[in-house]
Amino acid sequence: MDILKTTNRFYDTYRFGQPQIRICHKKGKGKRMPRYLLKCGCCEEKLEIYYSDEGLEIGGVNGAIEDWREILLPLLLIEEKDDKEIDSRKATARR
């Protein structure tokens, strides 16, 4: 898995016109799973996402990866086709 890199500047609106989410990644140590720490681009609100091969814990809610995929992919307007993720906005624009 590739670790996403960002500038993590406070209130950086360069890419999307809205404050960019600040991302920090921590490796797992001992019994603690690896995690992403997501911070709001305009304030100090934060969300921790712990991950492993079996599942995800997002904001303290544990679930299987497939459960999270069923919930989050439709919210991001992404469909799954032949085990590949496709942006449904691009697929409908081509029709």
Domain residue extents for the chain: 1-51
pTM of the full structure: 0.67
3-state secondary structure of 50: strand
Tell me the per-residue pLDDT of 30-87, one tens digit each, with 9 for 90 and over: 988 999 999 988 888 999 999 999 899 999 999 999 999 999 988 887 666 666 656 6
- CB-count exposure of residue 20 (10 Å: 0-12, 13-18, 19+): buried
Tell me the per-residue pLDDT of 12-31, one tens digit each, with 9 for 90 and over: 777 778 888 888 899 999 98
Place of tokens 């609100």: 45
**Angstrom distance (rounded) from CA 88 to CA 80:** 9
91 CB-near residues (< 8 Å, 6+ apart): 79
